[in-house]
Amino acid sequence: MGILEGKVAIITGGGQGIGEGLVHAFCKEGAKVVNVGRTLSKVERVAADVKAEGGDAIALQCDVSDRAQMDAAAAKTVETYGKIDILVNNAMSQHLVPFEETTEEDMWDAYKNNVLGTFVCVQSCLPYLKKTEGRIINFSSGSATHGSSKMVSYGSSKGAIMSMTKILAVELAPYHINVNCVVPTAVTPSFEKLYAESTPERRAQMLNGYLITREKGLGDPEKDVGGVVLFLASEYSQYMTGRTLFADGGKAMIR
CA distance 51 to 234: 22
191-215 as b/e: b if 16+ CB within 10 A:
beebbeeeeeeeeeebeeebeeeee
- Give the H/E segment covering residue 125: helix 117-132
56-61 and 244-247 strand pairing: unpaired
CA distance 76 to 70: 10
Active-site option among 81, 128, 154, 210: 154
Distance of CA 142 to the CA centre of its chain: 13
Long-range contacts of 128-134 (CB under 8 A, 24+ apart): 128/74, 128/77, 128/78, 128/83, 128/84, 129/84, 129/85, 129/87, 129/175, 129/177, 130/175, 130/177, 131/83, 132/83, 132/84, 132/85, 133/175, 133/176, 133/177, 134/84, 134/85, 134/86, 134/87, 134/177
The question of whether 154 is a catalytic residue gets the answer yes
Catalytic residues: 154
